[in-house]
Chains A and B, each alone.
Chain A
Amino acid sequence: MISLGIDIGSRFIKALWLENGKILKLKKTETSYEPLKKCEEIINEIKTEKIVATGYGRHLFAFNGDIPTITEIKAFAIGCKALFPDCKTIIDIGGQDTKVINIDEEGNVKKFEMNDKCAAGTGRFLEIMAQVLGYSLEEFGEVKVDLTNPISISSMCTVFAESEVISMIAKGIPRENIALAIHKAITKKVIAMLKKISIDGNVVFAGGCSSNSLLQNLIEREICKKLITNPLSPFAGAFGAAIYGDKIIKFQ
């Protein structure tokens, strides 16, 4: 029995195949301008019994056939609970959305917060700022900085922050320090969201930005807790969708 979870994000499509509850295969590909085509390629890779879609593009995909959908909030709750059984709180910083989620003992969503329409505090914001500073996205999260440096940017708006960054460059401030200021701004936004739910128990860092270790360090310093993450964390949504699909198969 193979179940495929497919998480169609704004930047990347993540796919995870489960065979009898065990991870069979992972795949990550750019969403591009033809997400449906990319999804079809993924589906055709392995014959599966059930497909469940999640992520921003879930409805686009579901529209084309009989594919159930769950929100990425539910998918991350299920996926993180499976990956990290002691997890109570989830931070998911994706391409265009940031979400923080509290889950109960069974992995059900208890409370969540999510950004509204602006891109402030999301992966998109990081990506644009990395570009301005001439870093690749991978380099950006690995920049070596003194975390105690008091530098900060005041604006969280992607548009205004960009002009603030440009004026910092013009002042001759080293780009490492500007990179730190940008990461601090995102951290501030995430902490504000976390305070609206509760920073309960073990906190998992998932989503596309969970591989950014600078962001991880900064959030850890603020909440005085270690964040739990591993290379599977960006796939937590796809994993949750696949587990959900597996349950549907068993239920049927």
Chain B
Amino acid sequence: MSKDYTQLWESLGINLEKHDGLLTVLSDAYKNIYLSQKNRPEGMKYFDFVISEVHGLRIEELYEAKKNKRKVIGTFCVYVPEELIIAVDGVFVGLCAGAEIGFEEAEKYVPRNTCALIKAFMGFKLAGLCPYVEMTDLIIGETTCDGKKKAYEIFNDITRKMYVMEIPNMKNESDRILWLNEVEKFKTKLEDLTGKKITLDNLKKALDIVNKKRKALQRLSQLRSIDPVPISGLDALLVNQISFYDDPIRFTQKVNELCDELEERVKRGKGVFPKGTTRILIAGSPFAIPNWKLHSIIENSGAVVVGEESCVGSRNYRELTDENFSTIEEGIEKIASRYLTIDCACFTPNQERLDNIVELKKTLKADGVIHYSLQFCTPYLMEAFKIEKLIDFPYMRIETDYSMEDFGQIKTRVEAFIETLK
């Protein structure tokens, strides 16, 4: 980290001793997993920097934003309409949920057999290790699964900052109406919080920012379809993870610069792994930062990850919001309908997800699909079985969490799967 942020952390009530420990572990893991990779694009330097300052410079930026009367809105899900937050000049941040931190604390509030992502966001807060959550003025929850739904009730008792959006579980006309109402209510909530009105002008500007970010991520994804692949799955995953933290305009610019470099690589036929390396698409649960476990296992077993059919992945950028509207109401409708295209496993039925996996496998020219579910993440665990029955390409299911106990078993299974693809 470039400077000392102790005072800032202290003012946020961060547990300094434990936080130092966390940063040391994170920095060691980053060195081992990321900086040890060969042939990394130059453009990744920016993202290395962002990670090194993930609890430093970015927190300071949020602090500055708050001083300028901007509100910080924390989220956990790709269902939260980012456009509206930006339209009221709010700052959108994904909250810490990707490491086995504070689980003992979390288990005082939630059962032991709760998914790692939920335990992590509870744990980070309870252990006093997430400066982002302390920075927020409002935290948006959503009813995507039973675990999160109930955990948010408890999280509200702890933080007093929760606002929960109701996500329908089906996509019928009545569900569309319900969701449109939820988006409208959210707009009012944000206007009340910030004292700023959403206008046609600021809504269009916000939409432009968010769509440009999605387009940059789509561009990165398309570049991964090329053989030899110009960027590792680990690096592309990191970019996707950072999309939830960074300033969206700066982020978009940096992703596009990275993509320019990758296009140059493609022209020269330069790849990060040799041409013909076995290509894997991962489908399933989200990869909250710093969850790099599965990518790291796959890419250290002689294959490359070419895509993530995941909320930290294609679900976040696949669809753009239609910018063609002339009233605020119409704009809100376009936003609501864009978010309902997301094929989260909480929906029933969810045929789109299967179709999207098949399509993504084809466009990214993946040799096989590894379905990854967090343990106790029932929606994805269930769909993993369903998908297996319906597809006709190499496929393997993995169920895991953030711990390293099963590293050996997963490595054996992943290597054996890759052996069958060669």
**Chain A positions within 8 Å of B413 at CB level:** 112, 114
Does A97 sit within 8 A of B, measured CB to CB?
Answer: yes
- B415, CB-defined interface residue at 8 Å: yes
Alpha-carbon separation in the docked complex, A73 to B399 (Å): 19
Residue A36 CB within 8 A of the other chain: no
Bound complex: CA of A17 vs CA of B405, how far in Å?
33
**Given A109-B419, A109-B420, A116-B400 in contact, is the A71-B412 Cβ separation under 8 Å?**
yes
Contacting residues, chain B, for A72 (C-beta < 8 A): 412
B415 engages A116 (CB within 8 Å): no
Any A CB within 8 A of the CB of B416:
yes
Interface size for B (C-beta < 8 A) is: 14
Cβ of A183: which chain B residues have Cβ within 8 Å of it? Answer: none
**Is A31 part of the contact surface with B, judged by Cβ < 8 Å?**
no
Closest chain B residue, CB of each to CB of A114: B413
Tell me the complex Cα distance, A110–B417, Å: 10
Write the chain B residue with the least CB distance to A118: B406
B416–A116 touching, CB < 8 Å: no
Q: Does B409 contact A (CB under 8 A)?
A: yes
Q: State A116–B396 Cα separation when bound (angstroms).
A: 13
Q: Does A115 contact B (CB under 8 A)?
A: yes
Within 8 A of B (CB), among A37-74: 56, 59, 70-74
Could you tell me if A56 and B408 are in contact, using CB atoms closer than 8 angstroms? yes
* A97 B409 Cβ-Cβ under 8 A: yes
- In the complex, which residues of chain A have a beta carbon less than 8 angstroms from the beta carbon of B409? 97, 114-117
Which of B399, B400, B406, B415 contacts A71, CB < 8 Å?
B415
In the bound complex, what is the Cα–Cα distance between A56 and B413 (angstroms)? Answer: 11
List, in ascending order, chain B residues with CB within 8 A of A116's CB. Answer: 399-400, 406, 409-410
A71 and B405: CB pair below 8 A?
Answer: no
Compute how far the CA of A112 lies from the CA of B413 in the bound complex, rounded to whole angstroms: 9
* Among candidates A73, A108, A109, A110, residue contacting B412 with C-beta atoms closer than 8 Å: A73
> 20 A-B contacts, Cβ less than 8 Å apart?
A56-B412, A70-B419, A72-B412, A73-B412, A73-B416, A73-B419, A74-B416, A74-B419, A97-B409, A108-B420, A109-B420, A110-B420, A112-B413, A112-B416, A116-B399, A116-B400, A116-B406, A116-B409, A116-B410, A117-B400
Residues of A within 8 A of B (CB): 56, 59, 70-74, 97, 108-110, 112, 114-117
